[in-house]
Amino acid sequence: MNNNSDNSKRSLLELLKQQRGVPFHMPGHKRGGVLSGGLSEYARALPYAIDATELPGLDNLRRPNGILREIAEKTAALYGARYAFLIPGGGSTCGILAAVTAALRGSQAEPARGAVFAVSEYCHVSVTNAARLSCAAITKLAPATDAQSGAIGGVLPETVERVLTRGSVPRAVVLTSPTYDGAVSDIAEIAELAHKHGVPLIVDAAHGAHFGLSPLLPQSAVRLGADVEIVSLHKTLPAMTGAAALLVSENSLITAQDIAEWVNVFQTTSPSYPILASIEGCVDFCRHSEAEFTEYVTRVLDLRRRLTENLRVLRLLDYSHIAFGADPGKIAVYTGRAGITGTQLLQILRGKHAIECETADETRALLMTSVCDDPQWYGVLAQALEEIDAGLTETVAAPVQLILPPGSQGREYF
């Protein structure tokens, strides 16, 4: 099928809207035009009309040479990468599996039996699944932790250096930065340490897709020297759920060819074009919205200052002593001395104030912000937390319990 039509002046969304002809091809909803009965409600609400397959002019995700290649190039430029692989479904999980497998095996089909790579102790389960698939072993990199709250911080450069200089040199170093709660490691120094030993650095930045889009935010990992960075565009940016990108740096020690080999192993052969269109829209927005991101971060910092000054019993978790930096947009509210659990705080915010948190556990509730927030929401949140805090009595801090993100793999991997 020829996908090389000259569509350089039109967006992918425009091309999808212009699809014509009788659709004797996938997907089976046939653009949703004749769905009836109970399905008609879905036809009105879901993007059936632009849910297409690899038709002429829409390119091919596995061998992009048209509009999908253009979107990938814009994505790479946005983050300062040499290459970007678009992932329209499967999210960062797909990207992590591909990057780690490429680091362990190159382009070889045989498992990397006995190979070792170093990884953040509380990594996403996809990292350990990559180890299983390659029959590889893991050396764990313990992050700094807060003794009082149990908050997990960043991995220190000296921790990485110890692993690099003892025993066999690992095939790769894999870090989670930022963490689920927003703690950031010193990527620049760790990349330099790893490269001195000829070891590539892979950064799971699933929660850091917005990094580098304002001077008030931490920089993207590939710009700081990481060989590969994986970002979930849907987590903190305006892209549809499942949208992600795998970024390869200019001088990556893992070749783009090897990564492409494994992306195509783990990537679906039936990509979602609505999600691809959302990636294009998201990237185009980010390319021209530095002012919007700076205004957003400024509002978040104002919110954090207000809460820090006004809360008596509840408090915001501070990562300054256990991390190189932090994402200001993650609002982690510690409840360990408030006489309630983080889960109870989540329930109060939901039931009384119609505010939904990202997650909660025994000692904290986590709220995620983004550039797409209505500025008025911050005042609503601050007022709600201040009202709740006023009705609480300070207690002895709850026993420390490490804060683990959903989908993470902790101290015992296997």
Query: pLDDT (tens digit, 9 = 90+) per residue, 24-77?
Result: 566 666 677 766 677 777 777 888 888 888 888 899 999 999 999 999 999 999
Answer whether 392's CB lies under 8 Å from 340's CB: yes
- Let me know whether 112 and 208 are in one domain: yes
- Let me know whether 27 and 142 are in one domain: no
The one-character DSSP state at 250 is T
Query: pLDDT (tens digit, 9 = 90+) per residue, 221-261?
Result: 999 999 999 999 999 999 999 999 999 999 999 999 999 99
Q: Which amino acid is residue 8, in one-letter code?
A: S
Tell me if 332 is assigned to some domain: yes
Cα 31 to Cα 51: distance, rounded to the nearest angstrom: 7
The alpha-helical segments, DSSP class H, found in 354-393 are 376-390
Q: Is the pLDDT of residue 116 over 60?
A: yes
What is residue 2's predicted lDDT score, i.e. its pLDDT?
A: 40
- Let me know whether 111 and 246 are in one domain: yes
- Let me know whether 131 and 188 are in one domain: yes
Q: Mean pLDDT throughout 296-319? A: 96
User: Which of 287, 319, 337 is where one domain is finished?
Assistant: 287
Tell me if 169 is assigned to some domain: yes
Identify the CATH number of the domain in which residue 309 sits.
3.90.1150.150
Tell me if 83 is assigned to some domain: yes
Q: Is the pLDDT of residue 262 over 90?
A: yes
Identify the CATH number of the domain in which residue 136 sits.
3.40.640.10
Which has the closest alpha carbon to 9: 50, 67, 60?
67
- Let me know whether 70 and 190 are in one domain: yes
What's the Cα-to-Cα distance from 169 to each of 59, 94, 98, 148, 371, rounded to whole Å? 41, 26, 21, 34, 41
Query: pLDDT (tens digit, 9 = 90+) per residue, 265-295?
Result: 999 999 999 999 999 999 999 999 999 999 9
Tell me if 402 is assigned to some domain: no
Q: How confident is the model at residue 411 (pLDDT cuts 50, 70, 90)?
A: very low
- Reported as half-sphere exposure (CB side, CA atoms, 13 A), residue 92 has a value of 25
Q: Name the residue with tokens 């992009």.
A: 64
Number of domains in the chain: 3
Q: Mean pLDDT throughout 188-201? A: 98
- Let me know whether 77 and 27 are in one domain: no
Does the reported pTM lie above 0.85?
yes
- Let me know whether 188 and 282 are in one domain: yes
Q: Mean pLDDT throughout 302-327? A: 96
Cα 401 to Cα 351: distance, rounded to the nearest angstrom: 26
Q: Which amino acid is residue 399, in one-letter code?
A: P
User: Which of 35, 52, 69 is where one domain is finished?
Assistant: 52
DSSP-assigned states of every residue in 102-140: HHHHTT-SS--TT-EEEEESSEEHHHHHHHHHHT-EEEE
Tell me if 119 is assigned to some domain: yes
Average pLDDT, the chain: 90
- Let me know whether 195 and 260 are in one domain: yes
Q: Which amino acid is residue 128, in one-letter code?
A: T
Backbone angles phi and psi of 332, in degrees to 5: -100, 115
- Let me know whether 185 and 325 are in one domain: no
End-to-end Cα, the chain, rounded Å:
45
Query: pLDDT (tens digit, 9 = 90+) per residue, 122-136?
Result: 899 999 999 999 999
The alpha-helical segments, DSSP class H, found in 311-330 are none
Q: How confident is the model at residue 150 (pLDDT cuts 50, 70, 90)?
A: confident
Tell me if 179 is assigned to some domain: yes
- Let me know whether 146 and 275 are in one domain: yes
Q: How confident is the model at residue 149 (pLDDT cuts 50, 70, 90)?
A: confident
User: Tokens in use for 26?
Assistant: 């996938």
Tell me the β-bridge partners of 202.
Answer: 174, 228
> If DSSP codes are grouped into helix, strand and coil, which group holds residue 173?
strand
- Reported as half-sphere exposure (CB side, CA atoms, 13 A), residue 98 has a value of 32
Q: Please give the residue range of the domain that contains residue 212.
A: 55-287
> If DSSP codes are grouped into helix, strand and coil, which group holds residue 85?
strand
Higher pLDDT, 107 or 234: 234
What is residue 4's predicted lDDT score, i.e. its pLDDT?
A: 46
- Let me know whether 132 and 71 are in one domain: yes
Q: Is the pLDDT of residue 333 over 90?
A: yes
Cα 290 to Cα 252: distance, rounded to the nearest angstrom: 27
User: Tokens in use for 39?
Assistant: 């399905």
- Neighbouring residues of 1: CB distance < 8 A, sequence distance ≥ 6: 54, 55, 56, 60
Q: How confident is the model at residue 3 (pLDDT cuts 50, 70, 90)?
A: very low
What is residue 406's predicted lDDT score, i.e. its pLDDT?
A: 65
- Let me know whether 356 and 369 are in one domain: yes
User: Which of 240, 269, 287 is where one domain is finished?
Assistant: 287
User: Cα 258–260–263 angle (5° rounding)?
Assistant: 115
- Reported as half-sphere exposure (CB side, CA atoms, 13 A), residue 168 has a value of 11
Which has the closest alpha carbon to 90: 209, 207, 217, 246?
246
Tell me if 7 is assigned to some domain: no
Which has the closest alpha carbon to 275: 20, 86, 23?
86
Query: In the structure, how many helices (H) and strands (E) does the chain have?
Result: 13, 15
What is residue 360's predicted lDDT score, i.e. its pLDDT?
A: 92
Percent of the chain with pLDDT over 90: 75
What's the Cα-to-Cα distance from 281 to each of 113, 115, 274, 309, 332, rounded to whole Å? 42, 40, 11, 38, 30
Tell me if 396 is assigned to some domain: no
User: Tokens in use for 115?
Assistant: 């190979």
User: Tokens in use for 241?
Assistant: 């759920």
What is residue 22's predicted lDDT score, i.e. its pLDDT?
A: 62
